[in-house]
Structure 1
Amino acid sequence: MAAPSRRKLPPPSAAELAPGWLESIEDFAASLSLERGRSAKTVEAYESDLRQAAHFLAERGRSGWTRVTGTDATAWSQALSDQGMAASSAARKLSALRMFARYLVHNGDRADDFTELLEGPKLRRKLPETLTTAEVERILAAPTGGDAFGLRDRAILELFYSSGLRVSELCGLLLQQVDLEHGFVRVFGKGSKERVVPMGGAAIQALAAYLEAGRPHFVKPSRTGSQLFLSKRGTAISRKTVWVLVKDYTRRAGVTKPVKPHLLRHSFATHLLGGGADLRAIQEMLGHASIGTTQIYTAVEQSRLVDHHAKFHPRNAED
């Protein structure tokens, strides 16, 4: 078995590579763009990773992709590790190689997948931060003013936590997307996919108060459209403004965690799961394309239970 290379990794440039290496990479890139609709930035990243791998494999004496073996792929993985590369970066490069190997088989350029037995770095999935229900209650109660700003900000915070929206989704809401009578909001999320998300009673009341006595103060006839949440200039509220107000009300509430709008979304999902909600229902409300993305909240809930057990069970008490 060939010893893994411990030399400095070759640059991901196209220089000094035989045409056979590059033609296959370029064909693969074209298929990613035209057939799979990947963005130009993503395609460029894949090309860069594959060119770097090709340099490495060429230096091992391989004359082209048809000559690459599983041992070569393992050596490339080891070389990435030897350079102290972050596990996430190495995993991305190996993912590009796996996709490319499958493409070669599908395209008839190879009979076998040389990455079939390739093992990548073990990624430790970082659990999302979350707030306790008490912390959320304090933040939601922070906007105490009865003026237009207080009514607007209270409605924003209540809707965030009640429906788990992304900040971009909330800022882009139009009046016609909110149905207070039936208690739901119609959202257009990533990829313009539409979903219907329920609202709780507190959010409905806060929105009703804002629409009646708050929003009219922000309306500027020459500038205001049908946006739900408005800035003092009468235009749609910006993501930056929402980030600032969430941070400000967190400080006022005495919550020391670094709270961003997305943390209210995480807390929405975690608290629903802790209350017994079905994971598939949470997936639909969050607008996740894959249930695997939503499953991270099961780990958060399990972690919370372990912490509670360690803290409160009498057999865990220290001597």
Structure 2
Amino acid sequence: MNWQKSLIDYKLFLKLERGLSENSVINYGLDIAKLINWIEENSIKESPISIHKERLQEFIYANVKTLNAASQARLISGLKGYFDYLVFEDYRKDNPTDLIESPKVGRKLPDTLSEKEIDQIIESIDLSSPQGERNRAIIETLYGCGLRVSELLNLKLSDLFFDEGYILVTGKGDKQRFVPIAPITQKFITIYIEQVRTHEEPKPEFTNTLFLNRRGAQLTRAMIFTIVRNHTQKAGIKKKISPHTFRHSFATHLLQNGADLRAIQQMLGHESITTTEVYMHVDRTHLAEVMNTFHPRK
């Protein structure tokens, strides 16, 4: 087995067996491509089957000088995943990265907005233009349903099940889930559809796409970032805000108001509950309230 062939097979495995998105597959592949380039530059003869821990430590040491702790940890994690794949496919009997330690990286807590700040952003939107109605619906949907940007962009008219109170969301790896949608969010989407979108002429390939730009095409990620940044600045909020901040705020506010962590996990589309548990650390007062309310020896 040579390095280039193994990388192609690994990326195919990530896509077909793991169901990862194209972006995730590319990012995992970059870590292995970096190792392959280093091996070729140094005329190393070892293959994916024969390479050993000490050689990989040389590679990691050659890179740590230019990487921060988080990037080092990600690189080592990428290598571990690759060699786990080789073991899984019976190409190797062991994973040479098992005894290589990653640097300790503290978990960064997500930035959030308060309910008042979200109201300020919504109120800052000029509704006298068609784009204003669209932008209000976009921000209400990001916050009201806790969506990723890619999920928002891919929302279709046929994904709206307002009578049942749900929308169908396509998440990472094309995995679909139903997410509850509040009446107020339904209201603003309906206003956008009936008063703005119905008067637009979508391009043929975007006739079912919910949110459109002025040319009748799907919005881009960059445009969503611009919309969020402009309205945040207009509202006078100094925090560093991205579209993902509304997703974090959605989860945090649900937790603060007593929602079950498993329910939040399902709504966010997290594969592991561990990913959702980061929100337990955002507001420690909530933990104290849970203890005082539910512990038998309170």
Q: State if a TM-score over 0.5 links the two structures.
A: yes
2:259 to 269, 272, 277: 277
Q: Cα gap change, 1:32/1:253 in structure 2, threshold over 3 Å: closer, same or farther? A: same
Matches within 5 A, 1:239-278: 239-278=221-260
Matches within 5 A, 1:50-69: 52=38, 68=52
Q: How many residues are treated as equivalent by the alignment? A: 278
Shift in Å, 1:231: 2.4
Q: Which residue of 2 aligns with 1:126?
A: 108
Shift in Å, 1:203: 0.8
2:167 to 177, 180, 185: 185
Taking structure 1 as the reference length, the TM-score comes to 0.71
Q: Which residue of 2 aligns with 1:150?
A: 132
For structure 2, the residue ranges without an aligned partner over 5 or more in a row are: 288-298
State the alpha-carbon separation in 2 of the partners of residues 101 and 239 from structure 1.
Answer: 33
Shift in Å, 1:165: 1.3
Q: 1:96-139 CA deviation, whole Å, 9 max, x = no partner?
A: 55446556766777765554433221112222211111111111
The answer on whether the counterparts of 1:167 and 1:261 sit within 8 Å (CA) in structure 2 is yes
Q: 1:214-239 CA deviation, whole Å, 9 max, x = no partner?
A: 3233x127766232223223333333
Pairwise CA RMSD: 3.7
2:201 to 217, 220, 227: 220
Q: 1:43-81 CA deviation, whole Å, 9 max, x = no partner?
A: 35314326647999x7xxx99976946xx3796498358
The answer on whether the counterparts of 2:113 and 2:246 sit within 8 Å (CA) in structure 1 is yes
Quick check: 86-95 or 204-213, which moved more?
A: 86-95
Q: Which residue of 2 aligns with 1:205?
A: 187
1:301 to 278, 283, 290: 283
The answer on whether the counterparts of 2:28 and 2:78 sit within 8 Å (CA) in structure 1 is no
Q: Cα gap change, 1:272/1:77 in structure 2, threshold over 3 Å: closer, same or farther? A: farther
Q: Which residue of 1 aligns with 2:294?
A: none
1:139 to 98, 105, 121: 121
Q: Any idea what SS the aligned residue of 2:169 has? A: strand
Q: Which residue of 2 aligns with 1:32?
A: 10
Q: Any idea what SS the aligned residue of 2:282 has? A: helix
Quick check: 130-139 or 74-83, which moved more?
A: 74-83
Q: Cα gap change, 1:36/1:252 in structure 2, threshold over 3 Å: closer, same or farther? A: closer
Residue 172 of structure 2 corresponds to residue 172 of structure 1: no
State the alpha-carbon separation in 2 of the partners of residues 63 and 185 from structure 1.
Answer: 48
Residue 287 of structure 2 corresponds to residue 287 of structure 1: no
State the alpha-carbon separation in 2 of the partners of residues 26 and 212 from structure 1.
Answer: 53
Q: Any idea what SS the aligned residue of 1:234 has? A: coil
State the alpha-carbon separation in 1 of the partners of residues 223 and 153 from structure 2.
Answer: 10
State the alpha-carbon separation in 2 of the partners of residues 269 and 279 from structure 1.
Answer: 9
Q: Cα gap change, 1:67/1:150 in structure 2, threshold over 3 Å: closer, same or farther? A: closer
The answer on whether the counterparts of 2:64 and 2:72 sit within 8 Å (CA) in structure 1 is no
Shift in Å, 1:202: 1.5
The one-letter code matched in structure 2 to 1:33 is: K
State the alpha-carbon separation in 2 of the partners of residues 125 and 290 from structure 1.
Answer: 16
State the alpha-carbon separation in 1 of the partners of residues 5 and 252 from structure 2.
Answer: 43
Shift in Å, 1:299: 2.2
Q: Which residue of 2 aligns with 1:42?
A: 28
The one-letter code matched in structure 1 to 2:150 is: S
State the alpha-carbon separation in 1 of the partners of residues 64 and 210 from structure 2.
Answer: 53
The answer on whether the counterparts of 1:49 and 1:93 sit within 8 Å (CA) in structure 2 is no
Residue 52 of structure 2 corresponds to residue 95 of structure 1: no
Q: Which residue of 2 aligns with 1:6?
A: none
1:163 to 105, 125, 145: 145
Q: Any idea what SS the aligned residue of 2:70 has? A: helix
The answer on whether the counterparts of 1:180 and 1:208 sit within 8 Å (CA) in structure 2 is no
The answer on whether the counterparts of 1:177 and 1:187 sit within 8 Å (CA) in structure 2 is yes
State the alpha-carbon separation in 2 of the partners of residues 237 and 63 from structure 1.
Answer: 44
The answer on whether the counterparts of 2:32 and 2:82 sit within 8 Å (CA) in structure 1 is no
State the alpha-carbon separation in 2 of the partners of residues 28 and 188 from structure 1.
Answer: 30
Q: Which residue of 1 aligns with 2:292?
A: none
Q: Cα gap change, 1:128/1:53 in structure 2, threshold over 3 Å: closer, same or farther? A: farther
Taking structure 2 as the reference length, the TM-score comes to 0.75
Q: Which residue of 2 aligns with 1:194?
A: 176
Quick check: 78-87 or 250-259, which moved more?
A: 78-87
The answer on whether the counterparts of 1:28 and 1:103 sit within 8 Å (CA) in structure 2 is no
The answer on whether the counterparts of 1:77 and 1:90 sit within 8 Å (CA) in structure 2 is no
